[in-house]
Amino acid sequence: MPKKKYIKGDSKLLNAWAFYDWANSVYPLVISSAVFPIYYGSLFIDDLYVEILGFNFKNTALISFLTAFAFIVLSFITPLLSGIADYMGNKKKFLKLFCYLGSFSCMGLYWFDLSNIYIGLFFYFMALISFWASLVFYNSYLPDIAFKNQQDSISAKGYALGYFGSVLLLIFNLAMVMSPETFGIFGDNAEMTAMRYSFISVGLWWIICSQYTFYYLPEPYEKKKIIKDVVLNGFREIIDVWNELKKILIIKKYLIAFFIYSSALQTVLLIAAYFGEQEINWPEDEKTIGLIVSILLIQLIAIFGAIFTSKLSEKFGNIYTLIILNFFWAFLCIGAYFITKPIEFYVAAALVGLVMGGIQALSRSTFSKMIPETENTTSYFSFYDVSQKVSIVFGMTLFAFLDQITGSMRSSILVFVIIFLAGAFLLKRIKIKNY
């Protein structure tokens, strides 16, 4: 019996699309933010340095360099693959490919230890690449499956599902790490083993839950062959958008400011858990629990933070609010230099949650308001997406160099005070009208 085709706007199709957020959001929470950074830091109890390819790297500098390299690769393959997928109509195959590759890479992190660090770093790299690449194809489905008046609500539903699903799995993993014996995990390093099992749980959750989405998403309507023009089409679109945006002074100024402060923002978010693991004086046997609780605290407060930022922008406008948020982030970086106690880290985590989601959402909506009237909004946001990825490369590489040279994450993070203040100054140069 052939599978039923669901038309655009159908509630089952919309809900199935949104459910992919439930499936994949466990990666950024459990792997990027919570459990993996703790596990990774625990591997370097005796020595913070490791030799890779003949070079002696500090552990946090190594993971920062690798993350920056992953985003360099993403900056190139994202427009390449999206151009091919748009032409061939096989976005679903690409989405499946990166979903499965990311899921198995997460499970591969089970074998990450210092004795086979090359294999472990490879799985970390592939999981990161796969997650971000899959988002390109997932997001591009939105105008295909939802009408304009449905897109805001179903997009918000996806974020909500992703938040609740990822928190549920993180709580399960937290319970497993806190009481490994309850889950049948015994041995001298039961806590570490439980964390390794959590990597497998992420991969299984991602791959199993995504099947609901894949069942309902439409298949390509016709098969086409890849031609040279199609391969380069994604890059041409980005170049064309940049040439158009250069003529609009307000967007040009905004994108420069966005690139600067986004490089600091994304880097701080990516290294926050590593900072807490290495720089805070945790009591014995409290580090793992304390760090995971901090991440949960950030997630919970981020909900109210997004609402707070939205209200702030209604009163002061987007640009003024972004300026305020940049000053606030500079203040947080200064504070991070001085904190050493767990309670201080909890307070910092709460403050990060207050402004974390708000500045990202407001940055995107501000850009959306500025772009000219056009039907080709996908190209503009593809450019925005690549700009953000390149800014992450800049920020992570800068931090990695400073961390490697100084040997201190605490000192290295101070450079972002200057970058956030520069972002605020560049935003102040924008003549504010309806922004």
Q: Indicate the residue type of 340.
A: T
**Those residues with Cβ within 8 angstroms of residue 323's Cβ, 6 or more apart along the chain or in another chain:** 424, 427, 428
Q: Domain check: are 292 and 432 in the same one?
A: yes
Residue 432 has pLDDT above 70, yes or no: no
Q: Domain check: are 115 and 190 in the same one?
A: yes
Residue 76 has pLDDT above 80, yes or no: yes
Q: Looking at residues 370-385, what average pLDDT do you find?
A: 68
Q: Is 185 left (phi over 0), alpha (psi -120 to 50) or beta?
A: beta
Residue 128 backbone dihedrals phi, psi, to 5 degrees: -65, -50
Question: What was the pLDDT predicted at 1?
Answer: 42
> Structural domain of residue 192, as residue ranges?
9-218
Residue 331 belongs to domain with CATH number:
1.20.1250.20
Residue 233 has pLDDT above 80, yes or no: no
Question: Can you tell me the distance from the alpha carbon of 351 to that of 348, in angstroms, rounded to the nearest whole number?
Answer: 5
Q: Looking at residues 95-123, what average pLDDT do you find?
A: 95
Question: Does residue 172 lie within any of the structural domains?
Answer: yes
Question: Can you tell me the distance from the alpha carbon of 369 to that of 259, in angstroms, rounded to the nearest whole number?
Answer: 17
Arithmetic mean of pLDDT over the chain? 85
* pTM for this entry: 0.84
Q: Domain check: are 320 and 353 in the same one?
A: yes
Question: What was the pLDDT predicted at 324?
Answer: 93
Q: Of 376, 383, 366, 351, nearest to 433 (Cα)?
A: 366
Question: Can you tell me the distance from the alpha carbon of 227 to that of 314, in angstroms, rounded to the nearest whole number?
Answer: 47
Residue with tokens 């971000």: 132
Question: Does residue 28 lie within any of the structural domains?
Answer: yes
Q: Domain check: are 40 and 119 in the same one?
A: yes
Q: What is the pLDDT of residues 41-65, one digit of tens each?
A: 889 887 888 999 888 999 999 999 9
Q: Is 282 left (phi over 0), alpha (psi -120 to 50) or beta?
A: beta
Question: Can you tell me the distance from the alpha carbon of 157 to that of 160, in angstroms, rounded to the nearest whole number?
Answer: 5
| Spacing of C-alpha 262 from chain mean position | 12
Can you point out the beta strands (E) in 196-353? none
CB atoms within 10 A of CB 254: 25
Task: Give the confidence band of 386 by pLDDT, cuts at 50, 70, 90.
Answer: confident
Residue 237 has pLDDT above 50, yes or no: yes
Q: What is the pLDDT of residues 280-311, one digit of tens each?
A: 999 877 888 888 888 888 877 877 777 787 78
Question: Does residue 262 lie within any of the structural domains?
Answer: yes
Poorest-pLDDT segment among 204-213, 223-232, 259-268, 282-291: 223-232
Question: Can you tell me the distance from the alpha carbon of 27 to that of 315, in angstroms, rounded to the nearest whole number?
Answer: 35
Q: Domain check: are 34 and 134 in the same one?
A: yes
Question: Does residue 281 lie within any of the structural domains?
Answer: yes
Q: Domain check: are 243 and 214 in the same one?
A: no
Question: Does residue 229 lie within any of the structural domains?
Answer: no
Q: Domain check: are 196 and 238 in the same one?
A: no
**Those residues with Cβ within 8 angstroms of residue 227's Cβ, 6 or more apart along the chain or in another chain:** none
Q: Indicate the residue type of 414.
A: L
Question: Does residue 2 lie within any of the structural domains?
Answer: no
Question: Does residue 227 lie within any of the structural domains?
Answer: no
Question: What was the pLDDT predicted at 113?
Answer: 92
Q: What is the pLDDT of residues 194-221, one digit of tens each?
A: 999 999 999 999 999 999 999 998 876 5
Helices (H) and strands (E) in the chain, counts: 17, 2
Question: Can you tell me the distance from the alpha carbon of 105 to that of 127, in angstroms, rounded to the nearest whole number?
Answer: 5
Question: What was the pLDDT predicted at 4?
Answer: 66
Which one of 173-182, 212-221, 362-371 scores highest in mean pLDDT? 173-182
